Amino acid sequence: MKQRALLLAILLLVFIVIGVIPFASNLGNIKHITQKSNASLIVEEYRIISQDFDTPDHLEFCDKIDSKILEKRKKWREAGIHKDKMSCINEELGVFKYKLVRNEKPSRFQPSYNIYYDQDLILPAISGIRCFRITKKRDKFLFVASQPLENGPPYGRDLLFLNGEIQEWNNWEHDYTCPIFVDDTLMTVDRLTKERKKMPPHGIYQFAVRKGSQTVYSFSAKEITDNAVKSFFAWDDDWILEYQDIVIISRVNIGEKNNYSKVFYYRKLKGKPFYFFEQNKKIHISYDDEVLPYKYDEVIHNRCCGPAAFNIRGNENMIWFYASEDGFWYYVEAGIYKE
């Protein structure tokens, strides 16, 4: 009798570990915390499963999150996905008398667009339009796009469209970052190591942040399987650079300034700064210059390839991420939700 009970207990444990029994996959519903900070940010934690049983590095892990959890904030999480980007860009370009028109002819890249100035065709069949930027004075604009070449590489060539002028643009030489405007001046991240086929010693590349022709910041970063630079954008009169758990705001290292060992995922959330930082081997959240009462052993970020599906995600409404604490994995959503 005892042997039979022991066998049943072992089988039950095995089924829980491999996720056959639904209770195991919904273990996360046990702990659900909702709390408001002084800045009205709502943070919701869902405990998913013990770290001894599974880890978020494979797509099947997503099945362990109850669909009701994901449905609750779906409207805010998917906000802007279906927005007509071309209409928004054309609205801005109209001030400069430029317009993007959908190209109905067959193209290697679909969809593709023709650029017109008034009624004149300037450039045909471009695709992958991205990085649209306009100055605060609304007197300069830029965007990056790709154009197929008949006898060129399959991905075509990349172009920078700057105030009506067309320039060659090499994504790799800028570590796949977008050019930006700060104080109405063009800024870029430039890779100083130009030889793409030959990796430098230990995969460490040299970079420079340039404002116009002036170098305002330089740094080195290791790059083997993923891009070294994680973000580069303008915020009011500042430029913000993130690379390998380091955040620079107009030449100021936020980690060094605040005695943080890591800073990552610095973003604008409802017009206020949101970021993660590590201090005393714990990951914290800062929002609107307030440290929130949440601590984690790990927050998954900057992973490559398949596990990148579990990196931090966000939009103007909310941030969502996977974190570990006290031996459990959590799915966490933080946002400001207005109907």
Average pLDDT, the chain: 86
Q: pLDDT for 22-50, tens place per residue? A: 333 444 444 555 555 555 889 999 999 99
Is 90 exceeded by the pLDDT of residue 190?
yes
Over residues 276-298, the mean pLDDT reads 95
Q: Which of 228, 244, 260 is the last residue of a domain?
A: 244
Q: pLDDT for 104-129, tens place per residue? A: 776 666 688 999 998 899 988 888 89
Is 50 exceeded by the pLDDT of residue 331?
yes
Over residues 319-330, the mean pLDDT reads 96
Assess whether 316 and 272 both reside in one domain. yes
Assess whether 272 and 221 both reside in one domain. no
Which is more confident, 83 or 329?
Answer: 329
Which is more confident, 67 or 3?
Answer: 67
Which of 165-174, 248-257, 306-315: highest mean pLDDT?
A: 248-257
Over residues 149-170, the mean pLDDT reads 83
Find the farthest-apart pair of alpha carbons in the chain and give their distance in angstroms, rounded: 88
pTM as predicted: 0.85
Structural domain containing residue 148 = 81-169
Q: Does a structural domain hold residue 74?
A: no
* pLDDT band (50, 70, 90) for residue 142: very high
Number of domains in the chain: 3
pLDDT of residue 18: 43
Assess whether 308 and 324 both reside in one domain. yes
Residue 332 is encoded by which pair of tokens?
């966490």
> Rounded to an integer, what distance in angstroms lies between the CA atom of residue 165 and that of residue 162?
5
Q: Does a structural domain hold residue 13?
A: no
Q: Which of 244, 278, 298 is the last residue of a domain?
A: 244
Q: Does a structural domain hold residue 119?
A: yes
3-state secondary structure the chain: CHHHHHHHHHHHHHHHHHCCCHHHHCHHHHCEEEEECCCCCEEEEEEEEECCCCCCCCHHHHHHCCHHHHHHCHHHHCCCCCCCHHHHHHHHHHHHCEEEEECCCCCCCCCCEEEEECCEEEEEEEEEEEEEEECCCCCCEEEEEEECCCCCCCCCEEEEEECCEEEECCCHHHCCCCCEEECCEEEEEEECCCCCCCCCHHHEEEEEEEECCEEEEEEEEECCCCCCEEEEEEECCEEEEEECCEEEECCEEHHHHHCCCEEEEEEEECCEEEEEEEECCEEEEEECCEEEEEEECEECCCCCCHHHHHCCEECCCEEEEEEEECCEEEEEEEECCCC
Q: Does a structural domain hold residue 202?
A: yes
Assess whether 91 and 57 both reside in one domain. no
* pLDDT band (50, 70, 90) for residue 199: confident
Which is more confident, 151 or 312?
Answer: 312
Assess whether 180 and 221 both reside in one domain. yes
Over residues 263-277, the mean pLDDT reads 95
Q: Does a structural domain hold residue 322?
A: yes
pLDDT of residue 50: 93
Q: Which of 135, 169, 203 is the last residue of a domain?
A: 169
Q: Which residues contact 319 (CB under 8 A, 6 or more apart)?
A: 265, 267, 269, 274, 312, 313, 333, 334, 335
Assess whether 175 and 202 both reside in one domain. yes
Which is more confident, 125 or 97?
Answer: 97
* pLDDT band (50, 70, 90) for residue 20: very low
Assess whether 65 and 109 both reside in one domain. no
Assess whether 165 and 188 both reside in one domain. no
Q: pLDDT for 222-255, tens place per residue? A: 877 788 999 999 999 999 999 999 999 999 999 9
Assess whether 159 and 186 both reside in one domain. no
